[in-house]
Chain A
Amino acid sequence: MGRGFHARLACVEEAAVEVTDLVKRYGDLDAVRGISFTVAAGETFGFLGPNGAGKSTTISMLCTLLRPTSGTARVAGFDVVAERSEVRRHIGLVFQDTTLDDYLTAEENLRFHAELYGVPRAQTAERLGEVLRMVGLWERRSALVRTFSGGMKRRLEIARGLLHSPRVLFLDEPTVGLDPQTRSHIWNYIDDLRKRETITMFLTTHYMDEAEHCDRIAIIDEGRIVIMDTPAKLKASVGRDRVRLETPDTDAAIAALRAVFDLEATLSEGAVTVYVPGGESFVPRLFADLGVPISAISIARPTLDDVFMTYTGRTIRDAEASSNERMASQPWIRAARRR
């Protein structure tokens, strides 16, 4: 597993993020229930999970915006509670919601940031040009941010997050609310950035396909890390193909799968799903022996969706539906998060 390797690496070079038994509790709701992990310097680490799984709460604690209920976290070598301003000096942040001043130009927004973070004046102009060119906004530097599209704003925020050369860049759902084309654009910039700057990236996402861009991902559900590894290893660990079948009588199909094939099937998004090794050879047997009419069938190699399904027993969309219910009963949580 990757953990041993990363633990050793941490001894040689200080880990970028080190989290031990981190807990955040809101009243009687446990948003984060004791998570531990280490992110090595230079790594791109992703938190993958449904909305409400505790991703944003964790990132807020790591960025010193929320105080942990218990447990410890060190970012860039500093404790997030005891050395708050040291942590802040060494991290860059790209939030879910935009935090730009619409009435300033792109360049003025960056200048403001450079002044607040104490970037030496002699370096400001050069660094400003660098990050603006990196995200392709150099030509638009004098335009008011309010004239920017959602994707341009997000790119500008990424540029701003990098302006003071942070050791760790946090990206909380960097592509949420953007159209698919813009999303893939943003990922091009992030991938490019990984190659060009020696930087550790910590990001959260609830898009499975985006998690593929990470060196390692942790799947988080209901405030716990379910499993953590490279995307390739996670998918390999599923070891089976996913077979989805549509049928008029799902209950009978699930019962028959259990009786005839000794398989535990689940019902998600209206289709019966089973995981079997060698999906192609399984399908003919299914048609021959199931005894329940099948209206459609599909086989797929494991994706991160399946990894999530395997380790949590449900799809990420089902998980979001239930976590939304959980959150809806605690409306003040949203208010607390908005700050």
Chain B
Amino acid sequence: MSAGLSRVAPAPVRVAGGRWQDDLRAVSMVWRRELIRFSRNRLRIITALVQPVLFLFVLGTGLSSMVSKGLPAGSGNVNFETFMFPGVVGMTVLFTAIFSAVSIVWDREFGFLREMLVAPVRRGALVVGKCLGGATVATSQALIMLVLAGLVGVPYSPVLLATLVGEMALAAVVITSLGIALAARMSQVESFQVVMQMVVLPLFFLSGALFPLKALPAWLAVLTRADPLTYIIDPMRRAVFEHVAASPKLAAAFGARGVTWDGWRVPIGVELGLTAVIGAVLLTIAIATFSRTD
């Protein structure tokens, strides 16, 4: 070995020391990794659009002709697709966020999770980074759906768009937290199917994304009110219907004036507050679960 080779002193590098700056760097790095992986996977971005587009334009249009017969006159360009739009945006957030979160199981399968878990940083920082990363990805994916708003009679109003983006981001954080809490206990990629069938699809079908949550049989009414996703879709739908030219009668027919609890119309603030609380609980569970595993 020649003396000219740069010889590295044993410990010139100060490594992470449990300070909040170190945790912040970990959060930001885990977040950045999610974005890099998302932006590199164009195919995933496109395939993730197929399902909501099918729901909105195929299922929505198909049902629209049937539904419109029962609607009050004077609906203008407001139709069933308009009703479905917030539901489909919510669906995009749901599926993308769950997929991002559950990628932890892939990380476990392919070993990268180990690289993260052995690092001298708090597990909480890793979970928060993963959560923010998944949420950013899910919100970005849903933003692409927002672009299609005009096609279903939803105006590009800045106030409406800002409201929707805010609500999408909140929803994305909550769902990613749910996904991480679930993924923390999963050791096999196959379990992802179980999560999809047992958790994600019931959440989606009961959320009011596809049909108005009014005049339902009691059992279904109770289930839909117990679905946290209901309180994410509902504020988005109310925001949309505030910005389209729909008569109060039409809005009522679509159940777009808000979810009721035994006749009491739940205020948007309560819905969003509830969502935030659920998100905080899920995130706490996710952090606790990850901090326990070795």
Chain A interface (Cβ < 8 Å from any Cβ of B): 63-67, 85-86, 88-90, 93, 95, 97-104, 108, 111-113, 115-120, 123, 127, 130, 164-165, 167, 192, 195-199, 335, 338-339
| A–B complex contacts, Cβ < 8 Å, 10 sampled | A88-B118, A97-B111, A99-B115, A100-B112, A101-B33, A115-B29, A118-B14, A119-B13, A198-B9, A339-B294
B1 close to chain A: CB less than 8 A: yes
CB distance from A241 to the nearest CB of B (A): 36
Q: Which of A88, A97, A112, A167 has the most CB of B within 10 A?
A: A112
Of the stretches B20-28, B78-86, B191-199, B271-279, the one at the interface is B20-28
Q: A101-B33, A108-B36, A123-B12 are in contact. Are A118 and B17 (CB under 8 A)?
A: yes
Nearest-neighbor residue (CB-CB) of A157 within chain B: B115
Residues of A within 8 A of B22 (CB): 118
Among A64, A99, A104, A127, the residue within 8 A (CB) of B36 is A104
B116 close to chain A: CB less than 8 A: yes
B119 close to chain A: CB less than 8 A: yes
B40 close to chain A: CB less than 8 A: yes
CB distance from A173 to the nearest CB of B (A): 14
Among B1, B18, B114, the residue within 8 A (CB) of A196 is B1
Complex CA–CA separation, A238 to B179 (angstroms): 58
Q: A116-B29, A117-B120, A167-B10 are in contact. Are A89 and B111 (CB under 8 A)?
A: no
Nearest-neighbor residue (CB-CB) of A123 within chain B: B13
Let me know if B18 and A85 touch, CB within 8 A.
yes
Residues of A within 8 A of B26 (CB): 115-116
B270 close to chain A: CB less than 8 A: no
Residues of A within 8 A of B11 (CB): 165, 167
Complex CA–CA separation, A195 to B110 (angstroms): 33
Let me know if B16 and A89 touch, CB within 8 A.
yes
B157 close to chain A: CB less than 8 A: no
CB distance from A95 to the nearest CB of B (A): 7
Nearest-neighbor residue (CB-CB) of B29 within chain A: A115
Per the CB 8 Å criterion, the residue count for chain B at the interface is 39
B7 close to chain A: CB less than 8 A: yes
Q: A85-B120, A102-B110, A192-B1 are in contact. Are A118 and B33 (CB under 8 A)?
A: no
Per DSSP, chain B at the interface is: loop
Among B7, B9, B37, B119, the residue within 8 A (CB) of A88 is B119
Complex CA–CA separation, A118 to B19 (angstroms): 10
Let me know if A118 and B112 touch, CB within 8 A.
no
Residues of B within 8 A of A123 (CB): 12-13
Let me know if B112 and A101 touch, CB within 8 A.
yes
Q: A102-B110, A118-B17 are in contact. Are A66 and B294 (CB under 8 A)?
A: yes
Among B16, B36, B111, B112, the residue within 8 A (CB) of A117 is B16
Let me know if B1 and A117 touch, CB within 8 A.
no
Residues of B within 8 A of A164 (CB): 13, 15
Complex CA–CA separation, A93 to B18 (angstroms): 20
Let me know if A119 and B36 touch, CB within 8 A.
no
Query: Using a CB-CB cutoff of 8 Å, which residues 110-142 of chain B contact chain A?
Result: 110-112, 114-116, 118-121
Q: A116-B16, A165-B13 are in contact. Are A196 and B119 (CB under 8 A)?
A: no
Complex CA–CA separation, A119 to B119 (angstroms): 12
B293 close to chain A: CB less than 8 A: yes
B5 close to chain A: CB less than 8 A: yes
Residues of A within 8 A of B112 (CB): 99-101
B6 close to chain A: CB less than 8 A: yes
Nearest-neighbor residue (CB-CB) of A91 within chain B: B118
Residues of B within 8 A of A108 (CB): 33, 36
Complex CA–CA separation, A86 to B16 (angstroms): 9
CB distance from B291 to the nearest CB of A (A): 12
Residues of B within 8 A of A97 (CB): 111
Nearest-neighbor residue (CB-CB) of A67 within chain B: B294
B43 close to chain A: CB less than 8 A: no
Complex CA–CA separation, A317 to B11 (angstroms): 40
Complex CA–CA separation, A338 to B113 (angstroms): 12
Complex CA–CA separation, A103 to B33 (angstroms): 10
Nearest-neighbor residue (CB-CB) of B16 within chain A: A118
Residues of A within 8 A of B18 (CB): 85
Residues of A within 8 A of B36 (CB): 103-104, 108
**Nearest 9 A/B pairs, CB to CB:** A118-B16, A115-B29, A116-B119, A99-B111, A88-B120, A89-B120, A99-B115, A165-B13, A198-B10
Complex CA–CA separation, A262 to B112 (angstroms): 57
Let me know if B10 and A199 touch, CB within 8 A.
yes
Let me know if A120 and B116 touch, CB within 8 A.
no
Among A63, A101, A167, the residue within 8 A (CB) of B118 is A63
Let me know if A339 and B6 touch, CB within 8 A.
no
Complex CA–CA separation, A176 to B106 (angstroms): 23
Residues of A within 8 A of B120 (CB): 85-86, 88-89, 116-118
